[in-house]
Structure 1
Amino acid sequence: MSDRNGRRERRAQRRAATQRGLSREAKALLGIGAAIVAVAVVVLLVFAPGDDDPAPAAEAAGGAQLVREDSPQAGPPDAPVTLVEFLDPECESCGAMYPIVEQIREDYGDRINFVVRYFPLHFNSVLAASAMEAAGRQDRYWDMYSLLFRRQLEWGEQQTSQRDLFVTYASELGLDIDTFTADLDDPAIQAKVERDQRDGVAFGVEGTPTFFINGQMVGSMMTEDMLRDRIEAELP
């Protein structure tokens, strides 16, 4: 009888010890879990955006600027919305966005300032951007801009220079051809195009088209509704 009682006592002691061990493990796990939660709360408090976050910067590291003084602009500089597009004249997606952007410009009028920045990625991209700039020196920038996009299928995705065709376009616009061809070869214009691309890289641009609204990148492949919604959100 005493042996059975002794065995019962030993089993009870083992169960109690086991329960104490489990209790200690549970407490330890609870402590670890509480610590993890505390760290997560701190991270959220530190990194969560607040109402007093600064406005998107107009400049990036290294002096890059989102809008340069010599950037082509259509609209008043003090418009409530500044829409910047980093584009490639040869980019098919940019070509698809062209009529959408044109309609938005027409619909919003003086409430929007549209700014073109270059981000060349194709064989004739730099040359096409240079053609736009050369036309701009004869006050026909937006005419060449529109012509290149409307007739992109004639010259895009070619692996040979389209210089002669661009000169033909300049002739169609009634430009002085000698002046146009001289400007087309001006190293200052090519340097401007290359500078635009460096600015784009500094602001996180990776492809075209990439849009910024009032200094905030809003994405690349935007639908018309998405772009309009973001613009409306910025209007007073």
Structure 2
Amino acid sequence: MLKKWTNRKADSENTLLEERNKLDPDNIPGHVAIIMDGNGRWAKKRGLPRVAGHREGMNVIKKIVKQSNRLGVGVLTLYAFSTENWKRPKPEVDFLMRLPERFLKSELPKLIEENVQVRITGSKEALPDHTREAVNKAIDDTRHNDGMVLNFALNYGSRHEMVEAVKNLYSKVEDGEMSIDEVNEEAISSSLMTGGLADPDLLIRTSGEIRLSNFMLWQLAYAEFWFTDVLWPDFSENHFEEAIAVYQKRTRRYGGV
């Protein structure tokens, strides 16, 4: 009896949540960026090693990628590994460097079938050979796909990205390829690692932290932010739709009145 009541209660709550999150298909954010935070805390709460949280977090990625594509999101950027994450214990870093390989090995056929294009934003040179080979294969195998872009921010740091963009523009000015007057916002955007992608419309961060953590500092200038206390391994399709529902209720003024 208790089990039946619990199931009915859960079904009722899900129905209410789905109704509250009813989305306008004509106002889906074109680019959603997610800081996937809380894997370690999720594992610690359960007395598990941190890598267990990362493993569970990878399963959530699969669900959110599928949901994003179904809803019509144009670009999904996932903050998978920052330039600062190298400071973590070596066994954890080694495990994290295996996750892209494992994810792409199991999911690449589905991504190809669903017309998803894989991109990487970050410095690939510092990645282990096995990680770099896996992401390069995914990029190459999906390069002709013209559906949703699945963009992994891997070994990525926004300040480093901007420094490299400045160096690139300085070199072009010095070599006479462009004048100093041509260095404008568009030129800087094009010189970033995300060149060719529209800026994010919506940023989601899980686990209750309210900061950007060196993530897309230039690109997020006019994005809508949505923070949740939910840890990434507990993040669901309903939470994702809730974030988009909140986004759809906001008025984006871009600095105007």
TM-score (normalizing by structure 2): 0.30
Structure with greater proportional helix content: 1
Higher Rg: 1
Q: Which has the higher contact order (CA 8 A, sep 6+)?
A: 2
TM-score (normalizing by structure 1): 0.33
